[in-house]
Chains A and B, each alone.
Chain A
Amino acid sequence: MEQKFDAIIVGAGPAGCACAYKLAKAGLSVLVVERGKFPGAKNMWGGAFFGPTLGEIFPNFWSEAPVERYIARRKISLLSKEDCLTIDFSSHKYSQAPYEGFVLLRARFDQWFANKAMEAGALVASGLQADDVIKQDGRITGIKAGNDQMPADVVIACDGVNSLLAQKAGLRGELKPTEVKQGVKEVIQFPRKDLEQRFGLTGDAGMSWEFLGACTGGLPGGGFIYTNKDSISIGLVVQLNALAEKQIRANDLLEDFKKHPAISNLLEGGKLVEYSGHLIPVSGVNMMPGLYTDGFLVAGDAAAFVVGTGLILEGANFAMASGIAAAEAVIKAKEKNDFSANSLAYYQQILESNFVLKDLKTFKKAPHFLETQRIYTTYPEFVCDLFEKMFTTDGKPRKKLWPLLNESMKGRVSLMQLASDLWKAKEAI
């Protein structure tokens, strides 16, 4: 007879690895099934990772994990077609342990994280695809992978945004184009010294740089540049339905973004080493599937645990926290030897008491607000225009700020509209 595991986790990403580590540490028998050749082989993200969750499991993880750089500076830019207004924030706290954030590359980081789970006693099987769940008397009792049946007391779906398993378990329907953004990214290599000089960095300090406006051609979304050790990750995140409706390709937008006057010089001489694409669930609680059923839990992107406010878009921290919460619920279920939905409901209680569901609920209205076209067209253009007027010395008598403001707004947006959008922003983000 096949070996029965206490828990089978599908997907060795941030949610799956965090869950596996916690369960293995507690002495449960754990199998992680990963479809990639190695953990991380199928995964990509922008690259900036924030929050304390990982540090809570592995204090000082940055001294052993393959982090590219700690984030010492955070820049935010509004782009019009040719101009750019940037806020460049650095804090001395950012450059000291425990640090605020890191730039990470998934193919390297996920392998490290999966190794930590293995060291703790979990079995990680790469190159194995979970095709379906095993159902017996209405409860899930394992997974099917190819011709194999693998039984377990509980299955935890950490298989990402496309989660086929949550669908097979009947917890989730099809994703809608309005519920996801598409991320496209290039990793571009430079000699380390050149990169540090260009981006004003020294040592292991790094930078996260987010963009709003012309980079997405006015479509809902944004751009990013993150500095790795000797490369940058540059990319865009764009609402999927907008690409379909406007018949625009994210890759074409990325090409335009790379040619923007504020960016193009920074990329000179760089060598493309990878091009990647991925979907991000962005509708938060509005699209959240059922989180548990008999013998089954859903965590990470599979559960749509992502929060976006226009200027931030965070998922990995939520993925890890949900993986940990799932582990806690399973450990408790194991003590009672009760893996029913009723028992596993504790998972949702944990998520409601920590930041995961609180943040998702706080920003419940953000996805709808972020569909406002003006955020990506009118406002970046208006702000860039205002700054251009303020900084232009053309020999004509100068005007005060208020008349300049009115001039920049004229034909773009009315005071009423601005007030209304600000009110919506206040409510949403």
Chain B
Amino acid sequence: MSPTSIEDKLAVNKYDIDREVHIKFNESICQTCEKHPCVYVCPAVCFKLAEGHIVFSYEGCLECGSCRVACTNKAIDWTIPRPGFGICYEFG
């Protein structure tokens, strides 16, 4: 049973990727954050930790809102992609 990596999983999804980033975060708050919940709660693994910094890629976002809810430090400015963009489920 394949694939198993998150990249391969997201690759089967249909997206209309916007050039505008729909989720922004305040890096200076992230610097004070110890547990980095965004890294673990994002089902698409859009947030990664690299050398102490949060690296974010919005393209695979499933628009679930998990990062927004889990970031109790309020570092994340969560919106949804502009109309017509983002994830487009065929099954759901």
- Decide if A244 touches B44 in the complex (CB within 8 Å): no
Count residues on chain A whose CB falls below 8 Å from chain B CBs.
59
A268 CB, min distance to chain B CBs, angstroms: 6
A129 and B92 in contact, given A184-B43, A272-B9, A274-B12 (Cβ under 8 angstroms): no
A275 and B90 in contact, given A35-B80, A243-B40, A250-B43 (Cβ under 8 angstroms): no
Q: Is B32 an interface residue (CB 8 A)?
A: no
Q: Mark B44-73, 1 if CB is under 8 A from A, else 0.
A: 110000000000000000111110111010
Binds B, one of A4-12, A39-47, A378-386: A39-47
Q: Which residue of A lies closest to B6 (CB)?
A: A251
Cβ–Cβ < 8 Å partners of B82 in chain A: 129
Q: Is B4 an interface residue (CB 8 A)?
A: yes
A254 CB, min distance to chain B CBs, angstroms: 9
Cβ–Cβ < 8 Å partners of B4 in chain A: 255, 258
From A182, A247, A264, A274, give the contact of B90 (CB < 8 A).
A274
- Decide if B9 touches A128 in the complex (CB within 8 Å): no
When chains A and B are docked, how far (Å) is the Cα of A264 from the Cα of B4?
A: 13
A182 and B92 in contact, given A240-B70, A278-B62 (Cβ under 8 angstroms): no
Q: Mark A268-279, 1 if CB is under 8 A from B, else 0.
A: 111011111111
Interface of A is mostly: mixed
Binds B, one of A54-62, A89-97, A103-111, A329-337: A103-111
Q: Is A248 an interface residue (CB 8 A)?
A: yes
Cβ–Cβ < 8 Å partners of B88 in chain A: 36-37, 41-42
A128 and B83 in contact, given A107-B91, A244-B40 (Cβ under 8 angstroms): yes
Number of A-B contacts (CB under 8 A): 141
Q: Is A175 an interface residue (CB 8 A)?
A: yes
- Decide if B66 touches A240 in the complex (CB within 8 Å): yes
When chains A and B are docked, how far (Å) is the Cα of A277 from the Cα of B37?
A: 16
A199 CB, min distance to chain B CBs, angstroms: 16
- Decide if B92 touches A43 in the complex (CB within 8 Å): yes
When chains A and B are docked, how far (Å) is the Cα of A244 from the Cα of B37?
A: 5
Cβ–Cβ < 8 Å partners of B91 in chain A: 44, 105-108, 187, 228, 231, 233, 273-274, 276
Q: Is A249 an interface residue (CB 8 A)?
A: yes
What bracket does the count of chain B residues touching chain A fall in?
A: 35 or more
Q: Which residue of B lies closest to A105 (CB)?
A: B91
Cβ–Cβ < 8 Å partners of B68 in chain A: 162, 175
Q: Which residue of A lies closest to B8 (CB)?
A: A272
Q: Is B41 an interface residue (CB 8 A)?
A: yes
Interface centre among A35, A251, A267, A275 (most CB of B within 10 A): A275
Question: Which A residues lie at the B interface, using CB under 8 A?
Answer: 35-37, 40-45, 105-110, 127-129, 146, 161-162, 174-177, 180, 182, 184, 186-188, 228, 231, 233, 240-241, 243-245, 247-251, 255, 258, 264, 267-270, 272-279
A-B contact pairs, 14 of them (CB 8 A): A35-B83, A106-B89, A129-B83, A161-B65, A228-B91, A240-B41, A249-B45, A250-B41, A258-B4, A267-B1, A272-B8, A273-B12, A274-B12, A275-B13
9 A-B pairs closest in CB distance: A106-B92, A277-B43, A244-B37, A107-B92, A275-B9, A277-B62, A162-B65, A267-B1, A44-B92
Known: A231-B91, A267-B1, A272-B9. 17 other contacts (CB 8 A): A43-B89, A44-B91, A45-B92, A107-B90, A110-B92, A174-B69, A175-B65, A177-B41, A240-B69, A247-B39, A248-B40, A272-B2, A272-B8, A274-B92, A275-B13, A277-B44, A277-B62
Question: Which B residues lie at the A interface, using CB under 8 A?
Answer: 1-4, 6, 8-10, 12-13, 16, 35, 37, 39-41, 43-45, 62-66, 68-70, 72, 80, 82-84, 86-92
